[in-house]
């Protein structure tokens, strides 16, 4: 069975009616339970459950410390290319956007890597726009070869691949895959992805599973909150993580909770379907932690400094730091035409984030994994 069949099953489910019937005593009972089923998770995403954020937060804190300790793991994104074959209505890299397109040369990759490594970070997420022709697997493998000298973990956030292609990148030294479904609502998905290979909803939906099958050590999924009804997208994201955790026991599954942000460029500003406020984002995070106690939760620099500071202790386990969302953002810092994919709100340096985490009584972690090179004779 693929996850698509589960999506189909819940598509028919009368979610609004279910949420309308959630009672106070039901929410209290769910919070007190040791294990939650999928309908319990759905109930914790209801408006009724918004009145129970405090007890949910206490339990989320306890479960997070139990499963992860008092640590926040740090990583940073590195953009290799902004060429894109798709027209996503909500993104600055859309093929429709008139902007300078760039791809790092291998020597620029090395230069950028050196600058990032000097901050102490050892885990990196490499990103490209979704263009197979401009950023082919062969190019990515060359980049990974260089990056391996500086980093102990290399994750990718690129166009979805076939299992065999993921395997080639795993063999080259990639150990993590991030891929967002953007929205699990197939109709909205079709509407906001105007043109390009990304219109294939199902191929993207199954990509995390293909990555897990290809030997990725970690797989990170998410929905871009605001594209569709956030409560429904939150539910499907949790369901997807649950499905992957149960099927790929040796793969570390995490969830990101990105909210839509504005972007620079010539294409019309996208109007989100809904605005997800801070309280709602916290509700999603807490419900997810109660449903999946072992799932990693990532909050990126899309979020404001105050918000990021205040959610430490509530379930988050991973944060990006010192982020730039432009190609070669560090080597080109301050130069014209250094156009980002979207605006970030937390612009603090890696050392500032490190200090903030320590001040909260948590340990910032720069490296928690190192690959062992096995010689095949």
Give the one residue of 43, 88, 124, 285 binding ligand SF4; rule: CB under 6 A. Answer: 88
Q: Which is nearer to ligand SF4, 125 or 311 (CB)?
A: 125
Taking the complex as a whole, the smallest distance from the CB of residue 81 to ligand SF4 amounts, in Å, to 10
In whole angstroms, give the CA distance from residue 215 to residue 166. 8
Q: Interface with ligand SF4 includes 40 (CB under 6 A)?
A: no
Q: What are the two backbone dihedrals, phi and then psi, of residue 362, each rounded to the nearest 5 degrees?
A: -110, 160
Q: Which is nearer to ligand SF4, 81 or 317 (CB)?
A: 81
Q: Interface with ligand SF4 includes 94 (CB under 6 A)?
A: yes
Taking the complex as a whole, the smallest distance from the CB of residue 129 to ligand SF4 amounts, in Å, to 4
Q: Which is nearer to ligand SF4, 82 or 317 (CB)?
A: 82
Give the one residue of 112, 130, 165, 229 binding ligand SF4; rule: CB under 6 A. Answer: 130
Taking the complex as a whole, the smallest distance from the CB of residue 86 to ligand SF4 amounts, in Å, to 4
Q: Are 79 and 186 in contact (CB under 8 A)?
A: no
Q: Which is nearer to ligand SF4, 84 or 290 (CB)?
A: 84
Q: Interface with ligand SF4 includes 86 (CB under 6 A)?
A: yes
Q: Interface with ligand SF4 includes 84 (CB under 6 A)?
A: yes
Q: Which is nearer to ligand SF4, 93 or 150 (CB)?
A: 93
Q: Interface with ligand SF4 includes 93 (CB under 6 A)?
A: yes
Q: 180 to 219, contacts with ligand SF4 by CB under 6 A?
A: 198
Taking the complex as a whole, the smallest distance from the CB of residue 277 to ligand SF4 amounts, in Å, to 23
Residues contributing to the site for ligand SF4 (CB under 6 A): 84, 86, 88, 91, 93-94, 129-130, 198
């Amino acid at each position: 069975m693929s996850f698509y069949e589960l999506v189909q099953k819940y598509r028919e489910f009368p979610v609004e009616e279910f949420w309308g019937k959630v009672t106070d005593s039901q929410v209290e009972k769910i919070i007190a339970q040791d294990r939650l089923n999928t309908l319990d998770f759905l109930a914790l995403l209801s408006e009724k459950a918004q009145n129970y954020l405090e007890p949910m937060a206490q339990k989320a804190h306890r479960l997070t410390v139990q499963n992860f300790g008092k640590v926040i793991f740090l990583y940073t994104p590195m953009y290799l290319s902004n060429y894109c074959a798709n027209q996503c209505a909500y993104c600055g890299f859309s093929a429709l956007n008139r902007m300078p397109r760039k791809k790092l040369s291998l020597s620029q990759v090395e230069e950028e890597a050196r600058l990032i490594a000097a901050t102490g970070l050892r885990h990196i997420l490499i990103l490209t726009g979704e263009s197979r022709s401009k950023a082919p697997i062969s190019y990515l493998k060359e980049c990974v070869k260089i990056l391996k000298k500086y980093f102990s973990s290399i994750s990718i956030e690129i166009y979805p691949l076939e299992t065999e292609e993921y395997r080639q990148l795993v063999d080259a030294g990639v150990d993590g895959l991030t891929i967002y479904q953007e929205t699990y609502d197939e109709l909205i998905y079709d509407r906001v992805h105007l043109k390009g290979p990304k219109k294939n909803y199902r191929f993207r939906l199954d990509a995390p599973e293909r990555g897990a099958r290809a030997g990725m050590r970690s797989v990170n999924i998410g929905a871009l909150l605001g594209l569709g009804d956030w409560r429904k997208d939150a539910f499907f994201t949790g369901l997807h993580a649950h499905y992957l955790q149960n099927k790929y026991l040796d793969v570390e599954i995490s969830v990101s909770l990105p909210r839509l942000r504005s972007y620079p460029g010539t294409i019309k500003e996208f109007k989100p379907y809904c605005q997800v406020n801070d309280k709602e984002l916290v509700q999603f995070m807490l419900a997810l932690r109660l449903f999946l106690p072992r799932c990693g939760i990532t909050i990126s620099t899309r979020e404001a400094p105050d918000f990021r500071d205040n959610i430490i202790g509530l379930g988050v386990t991973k944060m990006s730091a010192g982020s730039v969302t432009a190609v070669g953002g560090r080597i080109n810092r301050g130069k014209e035409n250094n156009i980002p994919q979207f605006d970030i709100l937390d612009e603090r340096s890696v050392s500032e984030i490190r200090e903030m985490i320590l001040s909260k009584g948590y340990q910032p972690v720069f490296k928690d994994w190192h690959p062992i090179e096995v010689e095949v004779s």
